[in-house]
């Protein structure tokens, strides 16, 4: 049995849907590298998997809700992943357009570029409204 006082203890769970046969590690350890980097370099707290729509189940990969700035990590760019195939691409367009109409600034990056200075600078520019700095 898991000790409830140990927040670093991982929890195992089965995923549903297409990948139901895989067991995934769901960590409860805290902020990931990108969140820690943003906090340290630009002094802002970034929320992971932020649900921004009151009805739809849409989530941003990362968001700064107080500033309405979001960062989406687009996987499968070169491998024909969900974001680049027809239905997934159209779904992403609907999500991003709705978010924009709700007042969100939606930035996009790839997994390879996520933890780079360029991505952190881009996020900082969006937060500061200083688009020439990027």
**Which tokens belong to 62?**
């990362």
CB neighbours (10 Å) of residue 41?
13
Rounded to whole angstroms, the Cα distance separating 118 from 95 reads 24
Please state the domain extents for the chain. 30-133
pTM reported for the whole predicted model: 0.71
Q: What pLDDT does 87 receive?
A: 79
- DSSP per position, 46-95: -EEEEE--SSS--EEEEEEGGGTEEEEE---TTTT-GGGSHHHHHHHHHH
CATH no. of 30-133: 3.40.960.10
pLDDT, greater one: 79 or 2: 79
Pick the closest to residue 92 from 118, 80, 109, 74 (CA basis): 74
**Which tokens belong to 133?**
């700095």
**Which tokens belong to 105?**
């600034």
Q: How far is CA 101 from the centre of its chain?
A: 19
| 23-82 confidence digits (pLDDT tens) | 333 444 578 999 999 999 999 999 999 999 999 999 999 999 999 999 999 886 656 666
Q: Do the strands 47-51 and 69-73 form a parallel or antiparallel pair, or are they unpaired?
A: unpaired
């Amino acid at each position: 049995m898991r000790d409830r006082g140990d927040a670093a203890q991982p929890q195992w769970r089965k995923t549903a849907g297409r990948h139901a046969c895989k067991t995934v590690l769901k960590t409860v350890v805290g902020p990931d590298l990108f969140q820690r980097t943003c906090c340290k370099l630009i002094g802002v707290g970034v929320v992971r998997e932020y649900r921004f729509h009151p009805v739809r189940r849409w989530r941003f990969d990362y968001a700064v809700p107080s500033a309405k700035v979001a960062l989406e990590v687009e996987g499968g760019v070169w491998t024909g992943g969900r974001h680049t195939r027809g239905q997934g691409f159209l779904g992403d367009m609907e999500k991003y357009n709705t978010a924009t109409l709700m007042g969100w600034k939606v930035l996009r990056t790839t997994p390879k570029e996520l933890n780079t200075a360029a991505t952190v600078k881009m996020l900082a520019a969006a937060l500061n409204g200083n688009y020439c700095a990027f």
